[in-house]
Structure 1
Amino acid sequence: MSAPRLLVIQPDPFAPLGPLGDWLTEAGASLDLRMMPDDPLPTSLDEYEAVVVLGGGANAEQDEKHPWLASVRTLLTQAVEQDRTTLCVCLGAQLLAVASGGRVTTGHDGPEVGPALVAKKDAAWIDPLFADLPLMQDVLQFHSDEIAQLPPNAVLLASSPRYPHQAFRLGRRVYAIQFHIETTPEIVRRWAANTRSKAEAVRHAALDDETLTRVHADIAETWRPFAHRFVDLAAGRLAPVQAPPSLPIADG
Structure 2
Amino acid sequence: MTWAGTNLVGVNRLLVAVVHETDPLARLGPWLRDAGMDLEERHLGTGDELPATLDGFDGLVVLGGPQSAMDPPEVSPELVGVRALLAQAVAADVPTLAICLGAQLLAEVGGGKVRTGIDGPEVGATLVAKRDAADKDPVFGPLPLSPDVIQFHHDEIAQLPPGATLLASNPFYANQAFRVGRHVYGLQFHIETTPEIVREWAERDTVGVAASPHDRETLCLLTDAVHPDLEAVWAPFAARFADLVRTRARQAA
Give TM-score scaled by structure 2 length.
Answer: 0.90
Aligned to 2:21: 13
**Structure 2 residue corresponding to 1:179, chosen from 181, 189, 193:** 189
Q: Does 1:101 align with 2:74?
A: no
Distance 2:204 2:225 in 1: 23
Contact 1:128–1:238 (8 Å) recurs in 2: no
Distance 2:175 2:61 in 1: 19
Task: Give the unaligned 5+ runs of structure 1.
Answer: 241-252
Contact 1:61–1:69 (8 Å) recurs in 2: no
Q: Does 1:144 align with 2:161?
A: no
Paired residue secondary structure (2:219): coil
Determine what percentage of the aligned residue pairs are the same residue: 53
Superposed CA deviations along residues 216-252 of structure 1, whole A, max 9, x for unmatched, are 1000000000000111110118999xxxxxxxxxxxx
Aligned to 2:43: 35
Q: CA RMSD in A?
A: 1.7
Contact 2:63–2:101 (8 Å) recurs in 1: yes
Summarize the alignment of residues 1-252 of structure 1 with structure 2, pairs less than 5 Å apart.
1=7, 2-37=10-45, 38-62=47-71, 63-202=73-212, 204=214, 206-209=218-221, 211-236=222-247
Contact 2:195–2:220 (8 Å) recurs in 1: no
Q: Which is helix-richer, 1 or 2?
A: 2
Paired residue secondary structure (1:70): helix
Contact 1:128–1:239 (8 Å) recurs in 2: no
Give the count of matched residue pairs: 239
Distance 2:66 2:241 in 1: 25
Distance 1:203 1:187 in 2: 20
Paired residue secondary structure (1:197): helix
Give TM-score scaled by structure 1 length.
Answer: 0.91
Q: 4+ residue stretches of structure 1 with deviation over 3 A? A: 237-240
Describe the shift of the 1:42–1:238 C-alpha distance in structure 2 as closer, same or farther (beyond 3 A). Answer: closer
Please state how far the C-alpha of 1:66 moved relative to its aligned partner: 1.0
Contact 1:192–1:202 (8 Å) recurs in 2: no
Paired residue secondary structure (2:238): helix
Please state how far the C-alpha of 1:125 moved relative to its aligned partner: 0.2
Please state how far the C-alpha of 1:36 moved relative to its aligned partner: 1.1
